[in-house]
Chains A and B, each alone.
Chain A
C-alpha cells in the first residue's frame, strides 16, 4: 500500500498528458488511480499527479479538495457516503444515519478503530428517486431501511474478511 501508483501507470499517464492539449483533464483520473491503488491521496500523491501531468500542485489540490470522493486523509477499507440532502432528509435520512452510526460505533467524519469503515456525509448521490440512499465504494444502495443497512454491513464485513 505504500507505493502510490505502479510505474507503468505513471508512464501511461505521462504519455496521455503529452498527447493532449489540456493535461488538466487527466487530474481527476490520475487522483482516482492513486486512490484505488493506495487507498487515499496523501500530499505526495498530489505532487506525483502534478509532476506526471506537468501542472501546478495547487491546481491538483484545488480539484482534490473540491470532490468529496477524493480522500486527502487516510480512510477505512470501506467508505460509506450517506446522503445529506433534501430528498433523503424528507424520507428519514436522519434515522438511517443514526442507525449507521450506532451499528459501526462512530460519528460522521470518523473511521472505525479496526480501520474497516469510514462514514462521510455527502451532498448528493443522484439517487433522489431511491431516497434515502448511501454509497459504498462504487455501489449505490437506495430505499434504505435499518434492516437493509444491517444486511449490507454484514456483507461488507464478510467481504473485508475474505480480502484478508
Chain B
C-alpha cells in the first residue's frame, strides 16, 4: 500500500489508486471532468493538474493519470498547477453560452462549480461561439449541444459502460458534436444515465424540462421500487408531485447508474386515478374510521368463523416494516393464512431462495468481478435491467456469460446462448451438478460439456436464476447445483431475480405458510371468508387471474391497503390509502437479502398540476392538503394494532422480537445496506406444475415479463408511456414460417381468455416451437401472467 504526501498531509491508499482518488481520501478535491469513479481516468480534460514536487514522478502532471506510489510529494496549491487549471477551464468555457438562467442544469452544474473552483471569473474571449443543430433524441433526453464542453463523459457512459450502440461523437476540434447517426429515440434502456453523466446542461431530462429550478426541488435518498435489485435513487419532488429521479450511489449494488425504468418510472406517485380516500362499504370515511372498521370486522370474523377464516396477503411492493406488521396482525388474529406473493411461482421461488441462499448470495458488485456468469431462465433487461449492466462489466473485465433460456435473452454484451424449453432448465441444473450429460443431444451436449469445463477453471462463478421461469423447484435446483459445484477453493455464487423490491423480506416472513393458490381454494370452498391485501392485487397478480377472480367473488370481506388504482383497491369493502415509496421512510430487502432504508421525499397530496389544471390552483383555503390522507403502510398497521407509530419505535420492536433483524435501526438511508443472515423456510411442497396445458398438440404459449409494459408501477408512469409496445408475440422464424407468418404481420391470438390482436415478431435465438407473449397491462395481453403456459391458436390477419 503506497504512502504519499499531498498538501503536507500523509495518506496510505490501496495499490492502483490514482493521485486524484488519493487526494479525495484527504478531502482535497481537485477540479476534474473526465475522471469518474465508474468510468475511470482518461486524462483528456487536462483539469486535474497537480505539481509533483518530489518522489518517483516530478513536474506538473494530470493527477488522474498518475498511480499513487510510495514517497510521492504532491501539491494541489502550487502556483503553476493553479494557473494551468485556470487556463484549461477558460478554454473549456470559450464556447459555452451565457444561458445559465434558462438552463435546466442550473443549481447542479458541475461546469459552473469547476469554473469557480478553477479560478476563471471574467470572460476574455469576445469572438463568435460555435453553434450546433440539436437532435431529437426521443422522449427521455433533451439535447442542447451549444453548451457542450466535449468532455466525452456521455459517450463513455452510453457506449463503454452501458453498451449502447447508437450514440457517438462526430467531427473534430471545435466541430465536435455528440448524438446519433440519424435523429431518433435513443435505443439503450440505460439512456437516461447520460443526463446524470453530463457535467452541464447539454443532456437534461425531457420529462423534467422547465418544471423546477433545482434549488426548489425536495430530494431524499430512496430505493427504487421497480425490481428486486434495490438500486439507490434520489427522487426529487415539488408542488406535491415527484418530478424526476436521478441515480444514487451504492457501490455494493448498482454502483452509479440506474435503468430508464427506474429513472422515468416515478409518475405512479402522481397518477390521476390513484385512490387517496379511505372508504368503508363504498362510503368515504376518515382514515381512523376505516382502521377501526378493519380492526373490528377482522376480529368479528375471527370470533364468528375462527381465526383461519381470514387470510393476509402482503406483496413485494410493501415496505419491510409494513410486512412485519402484517405478520403481527395475522398472529394477533390467530390466523395462519399469511402469504406475501399472490403469484405462486414467484412466491415459491422467493421463499426457496430465502431458505437456501445463505453463503451463496452475491451482490451486483460481486457480479461485476465474476469471471463466469450462467443465466438459467433469467432475462435481466426484463426482470432487473441493472443486472444486465453488472454482467456487462464482468464481460469488460474478461468474464464469460452463458445464457440457457427458452427466450431470446438480449444482453448489452457478448454471451453464448442455448435455447432450451422452460421445463428442461431444472434438468440442466441437475445434470451439471452430477456431471452427467447423457440425456442431451449432440448440440446441447457439446454446449453443456463446454460449460462444465468452464466451471472447472472459473475462480468466481455465479449462477443467476429468474423467479418467473424457475419457480420454487428451479431455484431449489439452482442452489443445489451451486452447492455441489462449490469446492474449498471456489464457492459458486447465486443470484435470483424476484418479483419486487421486498420479495425477499416477504419470503423471510412468510415462513412455511400456505401459498396463495391454496388460500384461493379455501376462499372458493368458503372456509376463508375475509382477505386483507397489503399493496397487492390478487385479481391480477395470481398465476391464473380468471380462477382468482371467480374465487375472490366469494369473499365476505375484502380489506385493501394500496397506493395504486388496482382492482383490489376498487373492489375493497374497506380501503385504506397508503403512501408511495417516495412519500415515506421505510426499508426494502433486495434479492440478496440486503435490507436498505429509504427516506420520504415529499408528503402526499393532489399534485398542483392537477388541482390547478395548468393554471393557478384554486383560491380556497383548508386546514389540510387535498389528497393528503395516504399514510405509510407501516403507520396504518401500527395504528390499527394500537402500537407506537414512529418508525424508530417500530424498528426497535422488530429488533427485540426477531433477533435475526438486529441492526435494522442502525441502517442509514445512504449506506450500502445490511445483509442479514436470517434464513427463511421452504414453502409447502405442493407447488403446481408450471405447465398448465391440456391439449398436447396445441400451440404452446409462454407468458413472460417483457422489457417494457409488464411492470405495474412503471405502467402507471406517463414518461414511460411512449415506450409501451402494442401487443405482440415472439416466435422462432421456423415456427412462424410453418404458421405462414412473418415478422410484422398482424395476427389473431386465441387463448382461454378469448381473442386478441397481436403483431408478430420473430427471433432465431429463442427455442423453436413456443410462442412468447409478454404481459402488457391494460391491453389484451394483461392476463399473460409471467411463467404461465397456455394453449393457443395464432391466425394471420394481415401483412406487415
Contacts of B173 in A (CB 8 A): 123
Contacts of B165 in A (CB 8 A): 56, 58
B132 within 8 Å of A by Cβ? no
A65 within 8 Å of B by Cβ? yes
Among A46, A62, A68, contact of B169 (Cβ-Cβ < 8 Å):
A62
Contacts of A59 in B (CB 8 A): 168
Q: Are B168 and A43 in contact (CB under 8 A)?
A: no
Q: Are B172 and A57 in contact (CB under 8 A)?
A: no
B740 within 8 Å of A by Cβ? no
Instruction: Give Cα distance in the complex from A61 to B183, angstroms.
Output: 13
Contacts of B694 in A (CB 8 A): none
CB closest chain-A residue, reference B175: A65
B74 → chain A, closest Cβ, in Å? Answer: 35
Q: A56-B165, A58-B166 are in contact. Are A43 and B182 (CB under 8 A)?
A: yes
Instruction: Give Cα distance in the complex from A151 to B180, angstroms.
Output: 44
B170 within 8 Å of A by Cβ? yes
Q: Are B171 and A57 in contact (CB under 8 A)?
A: no
Q: Are A57 and B170 in contact (CB under 8 A)?
A: no
Contacts of A61 in B (CB 8 A): 168, 170, 181
**Chain A contacts with B in 117-133, Cβ cutoff 8 A:** 123
Contacts of A66 in B (CB 8 A): 170-172
Instruction: Give Cα distance in the complex from A87 to B43, angstroms.
Output: 29
Contacts of B171 in A (CB 8 A): 65-66
CB closest chain-B residue, reference A60: B181
CB closest chain-B residue, reference A50: B181
B167 within 8 Å of A by Cβ? yes
Which secondary structure dominates where chain A touches chain B?
Answer: helix
B292 → chain A, closest Cβ, in Å? Answer: 62
Instruction: Give Cα distance in the complex from A68 to B166, angstroms.
Output: 22
Q: Are A46 and B181 in contact (CB under 8 A)?
A: yes
Q: Are A62 and B172 in contact (CB under 8 A)?
A: no
Contacts of A43 in B (CB 8 A): 181-182
B167 → chain A, closest Cβ, in Å? Answer: 7
Contacts of A46 in B (CB 8 A): 181
CB closest chain-A residue, reference B166: A58
Contacts of A62 in B (CB 8 A): 168-170
CB closest chain-B residue, reference A56: B165
Instruction: Give Cα distance in the complex from A67 to B175, angstroms.
Output: 11
Contacts of A65 in B (CB 8 A): 170-172, 175
B588 → chain A, closest Cβ, in Å? Answer: 38
Q: Are B167 and A58 in contact (CB under 8 A)?
A: yes
Contacts of B168 in A (CB 8 A): 58-59, 61-62
Instruction: Give Cα distance in the complex from A43 to B170, angstroms.
Output: 14
Instruction: Give Cα distance in the complex from A153 to B168, angstroms.
Output: 39
Contacts of A123 in B (CB 8 A): 173
B216 → chain A, closest Cβ, in Å? Answer: 38
A3 → chain B, closest Cβ, in Å? Answer: 22
- Encode B172-200 as 1/0 by CB contact (under 8 A) with A: 11010000111000000000000000000
Contacts of B169 in A (CB 8 A): 62
A52 → chain B, closest Cβ, in Å? Answer: 16
Q: Are B180 and A58 in contact (CB under 8 A)?
A: yes
A107 → chain B, closest Cβ, in Å? Answer: 16
B160 → chain A, closest Cβ, in Å? Answer: 13
Q: Are A58 and B172 in contact (CB under 8 A)?
A: no
CB closest chain-B residue, reference A47: B181
Instruction: Give Cα distance in the complex from A80 to B506, angstroms.
Output: 73
Contacts of A57 in B (CB 8 A): 181
B438 → chain A, closest Cβ, in Å? Answer: 37
CB closest chain-B residue, reference A46: B181
CB closest chain-B residue, reference A62: B168
CB closest chain-A residue, reference B170: A65
- Encode A54-96 as 1/0 by CB contact (under 8 A) with B: 0011110110011110000000000000000000000000000
B700 → chain A, closest Cβ, in Å? Answer: 35
CB closest chain-A residue, reference B171: A65
CB closest chain-A residue, reference B182: A43
Instruction: Give Cα distance in the complex from A67 to B166, angstroms.
Output: 20
A85 → chain B, closest Cβ, in Å? Answer: 12
- Encode A8-44 as 1/0 by CB contact (under 8 A) with B: 0000000000000000000000000000000000010
Instruction: Give Cα distance in the complex from A58 to B172, angstroms.
Output: 15
Instruction: Give Cα distance in the complex from A68 to B167, angstroms.
Output: 21
**Residue with the highest number of chain A CB atoms closer than 10 Å, among B168, B169, B171, B181:** B181
B176 → chain A, closest Cβ, in Å? Answer: 9
B641 → chain A, closest Cβ, in Å? Answer: 58
- Encode A92-109 as 1/0 by CB contact (under 8 A) with B: 000000000000000000
Instruction: Give Cα distance in the complex from A57 to B175, angstroms.
Output: 20
Instruction: Give Cα distance in the complex from A67 to B168, angstroms.
Output: 15
CB closest chain-A residue, reference B168: A58
Instruction: Give Cα distance in the complex from A18 to B633, angstroms.
Output: 61
CB closest chain-A residue, reference B165: A56
Contacts of B175 in A (CB 8 A): 65
**Chain B contacts with A in 143-175, Cβ cutoff 8 A:** 165-173, 175
Instruction: Give Cα distance in the complex from A59 to B167, angstroms.
Output: 9
Instruction: Give Cα distance in the complex from A56 to B187, angstroms.
Output: 14
- Encode B570-603 as 1/0 by CB contact (under 8 A) with A: 0000000000000000000000000000000000
Instruction: Give Cα distance in the complex from A46 to B182, angstroms.
Output: 11
B39 → chain A, closest Cβ, in Å? Answer: 18
Contacts of A56 in B (CB 8 A): 165-166
A2 → chain B, closest Cβ, in Å? Answer: 21
Q: Which residues of A contact B (CB under 8 A)?
A: 43, 46, 56-59, 61-62, 65-68, 123
22 contacts between A and B (CB under 8 A): A43-B181, A43-B182, A46-B181, A56-B165, A58-B165, A58-B166, A58-B167, A58-B180, A61-B168, A61-B170, A61-B181, A62-B168, A62-B169, A62-B170, A65-B171, A65-B172, A66-B170, A66-B171, A66-B172, A67-B172, A68-B172, A123-B173
Q: Which residues of B contact A (CB under 8 A)?
A: 165-173, 175, 180-182
Top 7 A-B pairs ranked by shortest CB distance?
A: A65-B170, A58-B168, A57-B181, A65-B171, A61-B181, A62-B168, A66-B172
| A-B contacts besides A61-B168, A62-B168, A65-B170, 5 pairs, CB < 8 Å | A56-B165, A57-B181, A58-B165, A58-B181, A62-B169
